[in-house]
Amino acid sequence: MTVLILVTTLACLLHYSTSKRAVITKEFKLLFWLHNKQKSVKIAAIVLFVFGLFLAIYTFGLGAGFIIFTILLMLSWSLIVLLAPLKIVNYKLLTLLFLVAFLLEKSL
């Protein structure tokens, strides 16, 4: 489940970085670089979306997988749209959060 959340959130963050309305400054070098490579980043985001959907369907079945993927998509998008302009979301925080979640998932 953690890998599914990671893939979905990463795809949303990649797609957000290509938006013309996104407030991206030079202090976030990775997002600034992604913002300049829009065509290839959009293709990578679509590939990650499709991979996340197939992963959800494989893990939970057709109906439940599609519903869970839709819920994860809405959750990821809403958090990124709300927190990215406040400069709370960065790759260090996401890496730490998903590492802790993955370790907790495997230990329980």
CB-CB contact of 14 with 34 (8 Å)? yes
Region 60-81: mean pLDDT is: 94
- What letter represents residue 14's amino acid? L
Buried b (16+ CB within 10 A) or exposed e, 65-86: beebbeebbeebbeebeeebee
Task: Put residue 90 in one of left, alpha, beta given phi > 0 → left and psi -120 to 50 → alpha.
Answer: beta
Q: Tell me, what's the pLDDT at 73?
A: 95
Q: Mean pLDDT, the chain, as a whole number?
A: 86
Report percent pLDDT > 70 for the chain: 93
Tens-digit pLDDT profile for residues 10-43: 899 888 888 877 776 666 677 777 777 888 889 9
